[in-house]
Amino acid sequence: MSTLRDLAEEHTALRPADIDHLHRIAGDWQLLSDLSFADLLLWVPVDGDGTFLCVAQVRPTTAPTAYLDDQVGRIVGGAEVAHLEVAHRQGRIWREGDPVWYGDVPARHEAIPVRLRTGDGEAGEVIAVVGRDTNLSTARTPSQLELNYLTTADDLAQMIADGTFPPPRHPGETTSAPRVGDGLVRLDANGKVTYASPNAQSAYRRLGYASHLVGEDLAKLHRRLAGDPLEGTDAGNAVLAALRGEAPPRREIDARGATMLTRALPLMPAGVPIGALVLVRDITEVRRRDRALITKDATIREIHHRVKNNLQTVAALLRLQARRVAMPEARVALEESVRRVASIALVHETLSLSSDEAVEFDGIVDRVASAATEVAATEVSVGMRRRGTFGILPAEIATSLVMVLNELLLNAVEHGFPPADEEAPAPPPVDAPRPEAGISAPRPEVVVTAHRARKQLHVTVTDNGRGLPEQFDAERGGNLGLQIVRALVTGELRGTIELRNGADGGTEAAIVVPLARGTTDRLTGRAGPP
Ligand SMILES: Nc1ncnc2c1ncn2[C@@H]1O[C@H](COP(=O)(O)OP(=O)(O)OP(=O)(O)O)[C@@H](O)[C@H]1O
Ligand SMILES: [Mg+2]
């Protein structure tokens, strides 16, 4: 569907500043629609031919709509838009005329010219027309609330015609809340309440004000409620600012464990300040949930911290045991378990430091890698390198992946570069001669690469060691280490793994892991390979 901007640019001669103003209207006009109990349609004159194009539409949340069909994009001419023509040409609000019928819905039409004030504050020319169309099928004698809404709506309509509504938006402010139905208070020019809707009355009651609002000085009341009678609270000052004709940002009042959001709007039809409109919303529940979420975050971090501590205790116990057993095989097995447990602890440690359930994985890989080289440190010195970046990974991927890498790195160090006394190293394969061969043997090295492409994480662990044993079944072969790797990659990570002899001898393990949506674009600033 075309946007307001697309439609206006395609069919009209409006300037960018005009279109911005229309955007501001469409961002804030739910208020007018609700107060008017009417649909609002934003019409712009199509270049030169007397027709009008509807570029935006809003339905009231307080009354039935006059239009079941979407009107945006309609171009209309002739009798149907005669009232828009009058408002546009004469620059005045048009509200005479008999009800018209839309199918079986009787509707009253009004037309409000839209002006954009010039830079020096003069009322500028009319750039568009707001059609205000009320479904009359449920019309009855209006209640006190409805009369107050309608009066206020007329003031705002006049302000659209003056170019003083909507007020400029404050950066970062939402336009959605509070709404008319949340609670509405009307003030006279002296700041005294002339009307408060039942919901507004209830919102103030939660803050501890139980009497009737009508007749109260609202700025003073806000100060009193916030327990700040001398200084004047933000919410008190906001009311005063609105009475002066300014449009202050939304403010919150906290009192007695309750929180109320307020929005004060100046009322100055035809440039005369006649009071202010204050919309209020009880947001105690929303704030309570915000606070609960923050505590929950802290709790999760604390839990990761404890899991890490517990895993480290388990590792320490296994290490103790390893020192005590005499059988070398058993000792090696226990020492390997220590490393497996420690690598998981590393992920939980990182998680306990971050505020979300995701970790910067490069640091973890580097630590696991240097732990793996230590295994071989006394026998063969193996270099470790990481190329590219893993970026930020969600916790569930990180915990499995760190175990996988731990096993592959240990294998590379343990089997790729066995100690000299274990067995004579196999001669380099005849069909893969190494250019360096004969000059000097290449330095033992393991390289981990990582890059992301098409929502997948590609990881390789490559060593330049002696390669997989002959007759090794790369699909199924191996002991516990590779079993863990395959189970985690194809199970938890839903990825694939391939184990093969590297192009220049050595062994290469290639892993591809799909990344869930939302994690792919969360790379850190560090650049990886394309
Ligand atoms: N990078 C490598 N270079 C050479 N051989 C390897 C490499 N990785 C694995 N292998 C071979 O595959 C075998 C199986 O590895 P796997 O990790 O499953 O078991 P393991 O390392 O022997 O014991 P553990 O269960 O303690 O890890 C190894 O014994 C080794 O022969
Ligand atoms: Mg192994």
pLDDT beyond 60 at 109: yes
b/e code 358-379 from CB counts within 10 Å (16+ = b): bbbbbebbebbbebbbebbeee
- Ligand 1 center to 481 CA (angstroms): 7
| Residue (of 333, 351, 442) closest to 402 by Cα position | 351
pLDDT at res. 530 = 35
Comparing CA positions, the residue from 209, 203, 205 lying closest to residue 224 is 209
Query: Left if phi > 0, otherwise alpha if psi is -120 to 50, otherwise beta: which for 144?
Result: alpha
pTM score above 0.95: no
pLDDT beyond 60 at 517: no
| Residue whose CA lies nearest to ligand 1 atom number 3 | 416
Ligand 1 nearest atom to the CA of residue 465, by list position = 3
Q: Whose CA is nearest to atom 11 of ligand 1?
A: 468
Q: Record the tokens describing residue 132, joined without a space.
A: 């205000």
Is the distance from the beta carbon of residue 426 to the nearest atom of ligand 1 less than 6 Å?
A: no
What's the number of CA atoms in the CB half-sphere (13 Å) around residue 174?
7
pLDDT of 527 reads 35
Q: How far apart are CA 391 and CA 357, in angstroms?
A: 14
Express each pLDDT in 393-426 by its tens digit.
Answer: 988 888 889 889 989 998 898 888 877 655 555 5
The band of 523, judged by pLDDT with boundaries at 50, 70 and 90, is very low
* Residue 205 pLDDT > 60: yes
| pLDDT the model gives residue 528 | 36
pLDDT of residue 103: 77
Q: What band does 526 get if pLDDT is binned at 50, 70 and 90? A: very low
Model confidence at 56: pLDDT above 70:
yes
pLDDT at residue 440, rounded to an integer = 58
pLDDT tens digits, 8-20: 888 888 999 999 9
- Say whether pLDDT at 429 is over 60: no
Distance, CA 310 to ligand 1 centroid (Å)? 29
Identify the pLDDT of residue 420.
65
Burial class of residue 165, CB neighbours in 10 A (0-12, 13-18, 19+): buried
Q: How far is the CA of 108 from the centre of ligand 1 (A)?
A: 82
Hey, what's the torsion of the CAs at 519, 520, 526, 530, to 10 degrees? 170
pLDDT of residue 98: 82
pLDDT given at position 176: 67
Residue 432: phi and psi, rounded to 5, are -130, 70
pLDDT(333) > 80: yes
* pLDDT reported for residue 232: 54
Given a cut of 70, is residue 49 above it in pLDDT? yes
pLDDT tens by residue, 60-87? 999 999 998 999 999 999 888 999 999 9
Minimum mean pLDDT range among 24-33, 306-315, 340-349: 340-349
pLDDT of residue 442: 77
Distance 415 CA to ligand 2 centre (A): 8
Residue 231: pLDDT band by 50, 70, 90 thresholds? low
Q: How far is the CA of 52 from the centre of ligand 2 (A)?
A: 75
pLDDT at site 408: 93
Q: Please say whether the beta carbons of 445 and 462 come within 8 A.
A: no
Distance 309 CA to ligand 2 centre (A): 25
Q: Are strands 383-388 and 445-453 parallel, antiparallel or unpaired?
A: parallel
Percent of the chain with pLDDT over 90: 47
8 Å CB contact between 249 and 173: yes
pLDDT at 227 over 50: yes
Contact (CB, 8 A) for 499 and 459:
no
Please indicate whether residue 465, judged by its CB atom, sits closer than 6 Å to ligand 1: yes
Q: What is the pLDDT of residue 379?
A: 65
User: Ligand 1 test: best mutation among 482, 498, 508, most atoms within 8 Å of CB?
Assistant: 482
Q: Which residues contact 337 (CB under 8 A, 6 or more apart)?
A: 318
Per this entry, what is the length of the chain?
530
Pick the more confident residue, 493 or 525: 493
- Closest approach atom of ligand 1 to CA 333: 26
Mean pLDDT of 454-482: 88
103 phi, psi to nearest 5 deg = 60, -120
With 60 as the cut, is the pLDDT of residue 23 above it?
Answer: yes
Look at residue 430 and tell me whether its pLDDT is greater than 60: no
Does residue 412 line the site of ligand 1, with CB under 6 A? yes
CA–centroid distance for 51 within its chain: 41
Ligand nearest to the CA of 497: 1
How are the residues of the chain apportioned to helix, strand and coil, as percentages rounded to the nearest 5?
40, 20, 40
Average pLDDT over residues 276-285: 93
Distance of CA 156 to the CA centre of its chain: 33
Identify the H or E element spanning 18. Answer: helix 16-28
Which ligand has the shortest distance to the CA of 333?
1
Residue 17, amino acid: A
pLDDT band for 475, please (50, 70, 90 cuts).
confident
| Closest of 514, 380, 371, 385 to residue 455, by C-alpha | 514
Q: Is 480 in the pocket of ligand 1 (CB under 6 A)?
A: yes
Q: What percent of the chain has pLDDT above 70?
A: 90
SS3 353: helix
